């Protein structure tokens, strides 16, 4: 398994080589193709997952079948830990949006590490606090921002985490369909399409298959505020 990406993840960066090697012996590899889920909302869970490569969407389904995306996670990030700290069924369905490789760790193995290494606990708390901050911000945006503003913000966030320089801007290969992008910003596909079309027409971005190229990041930033 290519564990270099995990070695650099904040959670493990402080561990000595021996402790890290012992931990990686306990990891099991999980390979997913686009569209396959590693677990579903409501399942019982006894392990958590680190993303080695690819991307995972975390989604919840309402009674009427509509889907809402909580987050898109990429390499080095972890998920599935809530069932460990607050034993209860999975709170979301985790689905690969591209070819994805995960490393699974049994809760009992993480628990043993946390008992002996307080700095790992501190890193984990920081990751959870960061997630809460992000969730609070999304909640405020749902109340205070219009759909184009939320689309602009979501694209900037995806650019921050997955963007790469391109000849004429920043290529953001988010791997999401327009339906999934709409689920991420909490709006209908039609409204999100309209916002994207307006950004294209103004020359702020170019659309590609499951990707965008941001051509004018300043304007997009202004629109996201």
Interacting residues with ligand CMP (CB under 6 A): 45, 58, 70-71, 79-83, 90-92, 131, 135
Report, in Å, the least distance between residue 197 CB and ligand CMP: 29
Report, in Å, the least distance between residue 186 CB and ligand CMP: 12
Report, in Å, the least distance between residue 58 CB and ligand CMP: 4
If the CB atoms of residues 123 and 199 are measured against ligand CMP, the closer one turns out to be 123
If the CB atoms of residues 87 and 203 are measured against ligand CMP, the closer one turns out to be 87
Q: Name the closest residue to ligand CMP (Cβ).
A: 82
Distances, alpha carbon 12 to alpha carbons 19, 33, 50, 126, 134, in Å: 9, 27, 11, 13, 22
If the CB atoms of residues 66 and 134 are measured against ligand CMP, the closer one turns out to be 134
If the CB atoms of residues 96 and 205 are measured against ligand CMP, the closer one turns out to be 96
Report, in Å, the least distance between residue 70 CB and ligand CMP: 4
Distances, alpha carbon 221 to alpha carbons 12, 138, 174, 213, in Å: 33, 16, 18, 14
If the CB atoms of residues 9 and 215 are measured against ligand CMP, the closer one turns out to be 9
Report the chain's terminal Cα–Cα distance, integer Å.
Answer: 41
Report, in Å, the least distance between residue 220 CB and ligand CMP: 23
């Amino acid at each position: 398994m290519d564990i270099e990406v995990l070695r650099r993840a904040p959670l493990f960066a402080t561990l000595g080589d021996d402790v890290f090697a012992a931990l990686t012996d306990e990891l099991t590899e999980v390979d997913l193709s686009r569209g396959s889920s590693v677990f579903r909302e409501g399942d019982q869970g006894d392990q958590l997952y680190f993303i080695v490569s690819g991307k995972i969407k975390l989604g919840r389904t309402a009674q009427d079948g509509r889907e809402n995306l909580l987050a898109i996670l990429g390499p080095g990030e972890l998920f599935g830990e809530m069932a460990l700290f607050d034993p209860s069924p999975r709170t979301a369905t985790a689905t690969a949006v591209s070819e994805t490789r995960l490393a699974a760790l049994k809760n009992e193995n993480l628990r043993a590490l946390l008992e002996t290494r307080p700095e790992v606990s501190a890193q984990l708390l920081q990751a959870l606090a960061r997630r809460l901050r992000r969730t609070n911000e999304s909640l405020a945006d749902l109340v205070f921002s219009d759909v184009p503003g939320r689309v602009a913000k979501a694209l900037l966030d995806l650019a921050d985490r997955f963007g790469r320089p391109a000849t004429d801007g920043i290529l953001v290969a988010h791997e999401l369909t327009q339906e999934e992008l709409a689920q991420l910003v909490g709006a209908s596909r039609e409204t999100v399409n309209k916002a994207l079309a307006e950004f294209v027409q103004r020359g702020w971005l170019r659309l590609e298959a499951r990707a965008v190229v941001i051509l004018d990041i300043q304007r997009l930033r202004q629109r996201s505020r």
